[in-house]
Amino acid sequence: MSRDIATFAGGCFWCMVKPFDEQPGIESVVSGYTGGHVENPTYQQVCSETTGHLEAVQISFDSDIYPYEKLVETYFTLIDPTDSGGQFFDRGESYTTAIFYHNEEQKAIAEDFKARLDQSGQFNQPIAVKILPAKTFYPAEEYHQHYYKKNPLHYERYSIGSGRAAFIEKHWGNRDE
């Protein structure tokens, strides 16, 4: 077994867990904060936009079953990759997008996918996702972990109400089929 770590920021971390959690080879998906300058930040601190952290998910996975390339592809289908100011109705630095690479191979894969998507013409604006070296990842408070399981109705309303579900359907099609 080849256990690896991937870290992605894609706006509200609630919406980033379920699509990864349901894939084969994914061992865990943890909601948290990364990229900032404050140790052990709280949700309230991160939301205040003073810590430099982004809401993110850290994924432990078996790359023999679900390779990093597939994680990156899945990640891009969960976000608006052209929005540099946040995601959907969540605005501000803590909701911006980034791929935090853990080694040079991850960096190369992320940069290649981003470049190909940018050149594909699928979006009429440049791809704004940052590709950054991984920093310390702080797990979020327990009530944020696997929110889609703990609060399924609120999670569904949030996904639809934020505009994320409609955007994904428009740009990537119905991925449940």
Three-state SS sequence of 37-96:
CCCCCCHHHHHCCCCCCEEEEEEEEECCCCCHHHHHHHHHCCCCCCCCCEECCEECHHHC
In this structure, are residues 109 and 20 in contact, taking their beta carbons and an 8 Å threshold?
no
DSSP string for 111-154: HHHHHHHHHHTSSSS----EEEE---EEEPPGGGTTHHHHSHHH
In this structure, are residues 100 and 133 in contact, taking their beta carbons and an 8 Å threshold?
yes
DSSP H/E element including 7: strand 3-10
Q: Strand, coil or helix: what is 174?
A: coil
12 is catalytic: yes
In this structure, are residues 32 and 56 in contact, taking their beta carbons and an 8 Å threshold?
yes
Given the residues 4, 7, 8, 12, select the one marked as catalytic.
Answer: 12
| Residues known to be catalytic | 12
